[in-house]
Amino acid sequence: MRHSGICAVLTASELQRLAQSARHTRHDAGAPLLFENSAITSYANVVEGVVKLSRVLRDGKQQLVGLQFAPDLLGRLFGDENLLNVEAASDVDLCRVPRNVLEELVASSTELKQRLLDQSLQDLDDARDWMVTLGRKDAQQRVASLLLLIAKRSGADAADTGTSFDLPLSRSDMADFLGLTIETVSRQISKLRHEGVIEVANHRRVTVPDMARLAHRAG
Amino acid sequence: MRHSGICAVLTASELQRLAQSARHTRHDAGAPLLFENSAITSYANVVEGVVKLSRVLRDGKQQLVGLQFAPDLLGRLFGDENLLNVEAASDVDLCRVPRNVLEELVASSTELKQRLLDQSLQDLDDARDWMVTLGRKDAQQRVASLLLLIAKRSGADAADTGTSFDLPLSRSDMADFLGLTIETVSRQISKLRHEGVIEVANHRRVTVPDMARLAHRAG
DNA sequence: CGCAGGTTTGAATGTCGTCAAACCAAGTGG
DNA sequence: CCACTTGGTTTGACGACATTCAAACCTGCG
């Protein structure tokens, strides 16, 4: 899930145009950012933290369909309807831009349009990658895949003792992303821990001594 | 999965430019159209039939990540690497266009670029929809979801007796798309048949007396 | 300290996968 | 025309893995 944020795709003059109307906002973990089927009134850049995109079935079950790390762009361009629930997974900093301003910019910049196309194609690739995970991997491989994804995208610091990072998701969120139950996620994490593939502190801080070994578990 | 094909997004003069280099090709069911990781040398429009996009795990398991019905566009724009296996699911007619010609057109037409962005966003929505199916639905709901999808996209003819269509996929392909095994797919189809939700002739021709009832089974 | 939320662990249940056999439709050759 | 083959599909018996239900366990906080 490597996206380029708004800032990365704008020229200096465009950025200036944007700065006039952009506003920073802060949100606590769990805060809803948009509701399913609501009209989109603004777009946003993820400045800090992780945002989760989800859909819910009629029976109440939930499935996360995407995670947005900084500096990803948030919000679906040119769609009138938002098909997703958008929530802060961790504490989040956003840089909001009114919809019409951004679309104005997009209309005037063919370069920008090109970059947005690239990004949506990247998102599509990511979504299809995850379809493989959901359709063909067992619980162990799914959990390993998620840890790998998080390690890659949240600036995990590498040391001699291994790579460390904080989980931006609760067990419940992880389960909803992996198509599993909380209990199964917990069991698989415990298994990886007992086998020395990962170390866990306070249920949230993860250390990976050997990334290749984790990758191997991911299938 | 509602895409607009090339033809739908081009002006008359652009179509003319395209006609000079476009070539029609025919492929039998099962024929490979592109290989994973191969450089893309051309793009194509699906004129007739259904094309399947898939990825394979190291252990040989396969997962379909998309289906392309006429008149969808085939091939990933602006990516140098093709991450997918592309095969004819049924007998297929393609309209091929050399890569450079299409990208030339895209570069010159901001309207075209816009439409391609729309399409990739639609594909992304579709992929995320299917993530919900793979992550949160049981076998029965998955099979019903697929039948519903095929009914919608392959021009199913509606009559007083119900809606009828041919399955463009083998049981094996269906299993790979649904994240199930052949046997489970077969069992669920039999179940739907015994319960009168669908009728099946020759293992391929499906009739749905009451679409709403099928939709209800899809979750 | 004691409560509350989230997490871990355990035992029992159920769904789907695996293995294996029967079935069906279409095509080939005697 | 019928026996035989072949590939795909269906059905059955069994086992494995994930879910469910329930209880114990941490960690942070009043």
Six-digit token string for A162: 């291994």
State the CB neighbour count (10 A cutoff) for residue A173: 25
DSSP state letter for A131: H
pLDDT confidence band for B74 (50 / 70 / 90): confident
Q: Are the CB atoms for A50 and A174 separated by under 8 Å?
A: no
Q: Which amino acid is at B55?
A: R
- Final residue before a domain boundary, out of B66, B96, B127: B127
Asked whether residue A169 falls in the same domain as residue A90, the answer is no
Q: What band does B3 get if pLDDT is binned at 50, 70 and 90?
A: very low
Pair (A46, A117) in one structural domain: yes
Give the CATH number, domain containing residue B196: 1.10.10.10
Single residue among B127, B148, B175 that ends a domain in this structure: B127
Contact of A78 with chain B, judged by CB distance below 8 Å, is answered with yes
In the listed set B106, B127, B148, which residue is the last one of a domain according to the structure? Answer: B127
* Same domain, yes or no: B14 and B121: yes
Q: Which residues interact with strand C by a CB < 7 Å criterion?
A: A 170-172, 182-183, 185-187, 189-190, 200, 203; B 138-140, 179-181, 183-184, 202-203
Residue B165 in any domain: the answer is yes
Query: Do the chains contact at A113 and B118, CB–CB below 8 Å?
Result: no
Q: Residue A20: in which H helix or E strand, if any?
A: none
Say if B57 falls within a structural domain.
Answer: yes
3-state secondary structure of B179: coil
Lowest mean pLDDT among B87-101, B106-120, B191-205: B106-120
Per the CB < 8 A criterion, the answer to whether A79 and A40 are in contact is yes
Same structural domain for residues A22 and A120?
yes
> Rounded to 5 degrees, what are φ and ψ at B135?
-85, -30
Please check whether residue A171 lies inside any domain of the structure: yes
End-to-end CA distance of chain A: 18
Beta strands in chain A (DSSP E): 23-27, 32-34, 42-48, 50-56, 62-69, 73-74, 85-88, 92-98, 157-159, 162-166, 199-201, 205-208
| Number of structural domains chain B divides into | 2
Q: What are the pLDDT digits (tens) for A20-48?
A: 888 888 999 999 987 665 666 778 889 99
Alpha carbons A156 and A211: distance in angstroms, whole number: 11
- Give the domain CATH number at A39: 2.60.120.10
In a domain, A111, yes or no: yes
Instruction: Tell me, letter by letter, the H, E, C secondary structure of A49-101.
Output: CEEEEEEECCCCCEEEEEEEECCCEECCCCCCECCCEEEECCCEEEEEEEHHH
> Among partner residues A58, A123, A134, which is closest to B134 by beta-carbon distance?
A134
Asked if B63 and B179 touch (Cβ cutoff 8 Å), the reply is yes
| Residue B49 placed within a domain | yes
User: Which of B157, B190, B158, B153 shows the shortest CA–CA distance to B168?
Assistant: B153
Closest CA to A111 of A1, A2, A24, A4: A4
Q: What is the pLDDT of residues A110-138, one digit of tens each?
A: 777 777 778 888 889 999 999 999 999 99
Say how far apart CA A188 and CA A174 lie, in whole Å.
Answer: 12
Local confidence band at A81 (pLDDT 50, 70, 90 cut-offs): low
- Rounded alpha-carbon distances, angstroms, from residue A69 to A3, A154, A177, A185, B13: 9, 7, 15, 22, 42
Q: Are B116 and B192 in contact (CB under 8 A)?
A: no
The nucleotide minimizing the C1' distance to residue A204's CA is C7
d(CA A44, CA A53) in angstroms, rounded, equals 14
- The closest alpha carbon to A136, from B134, B86, B85, B83, belongs to B134
Contact across the interface for A219 and B78, Cβ inside 8 Å:
no
Q: What is the mean pLDDT of residues B164-185?
A: 98
Which residue range(s) make up the domain with B71? 7-127
Contact A76 B137 (CB under 8 A): no
Task: Give yes or no: residues B104 and B187 share one domain.
Answer: no
The long-range contacts involving A152-158, CB below 8 angstroms and separated by at least 24 positions, are: A153/A1, A153/A2, A153/A67, A153/A69, A154/A50, A154/A69
Q: Identify the pLDDT of residue A117.
A: 79
Pairwise CA distance, residues A47 & A211, whole Å? 27
Assess whether B88 and B155 both reside in one domain.
no
B68 and B173 both lie in a single domain: no
Task: Let me know if residue B144 belongs to a domain.
Answer: yes
Are residues B134 and A137, on separate chains, in Cβ contact within 8 Å? Answer: no
- Return d(Cα B176, Cα B44) in angstroms, integer: 24
pLDDT at A3: 46
Whether residues A99 and A165 share a domain: the answer is no
Q: Which residues contact A195 (CB under 8 A, 6 or more apart)?
A: none
Q: Examine residue B54 and state whether it is found in any structural domain, yes or no.
A: yes
Are A15 and A121 in a shared domain?
A: yes
How many other C-beta atoms lie within 10 A of the C-beta of residue B189? 22
B2 occurs within a structural domain:
no
* Residue-wise pLDDT tens digits, B18-65: 778 888 899 999 999 876 656 667 788 899 999 999 999 988 899 999
- Best of A3, A37, A77, A121 to disrupt the B interface by mutation (most B CBs within 10 Å)? A121
Task: Tell which wins on pLDDT, A73 or B211.
Answer: B211
Using a 7 Å cut-off to protein CB atoms, list the covered nucleotides of chain C: 6-11, 15-20, 25-26
Domain shared by A94 and A160, yes or no: no
Same domain, B48 and B144: no
Nucleotides of D under 7 A from a protein CB: 8-13, 17-22, 27-28
Cα atoms in the Cβ-side hemisphere of radius 13 Å centred on A110: 8
Question: B151 and B111: one domain?
Answer: no
Measured between CB atoms, which of B55, B57, B128 is closest to A66? B128
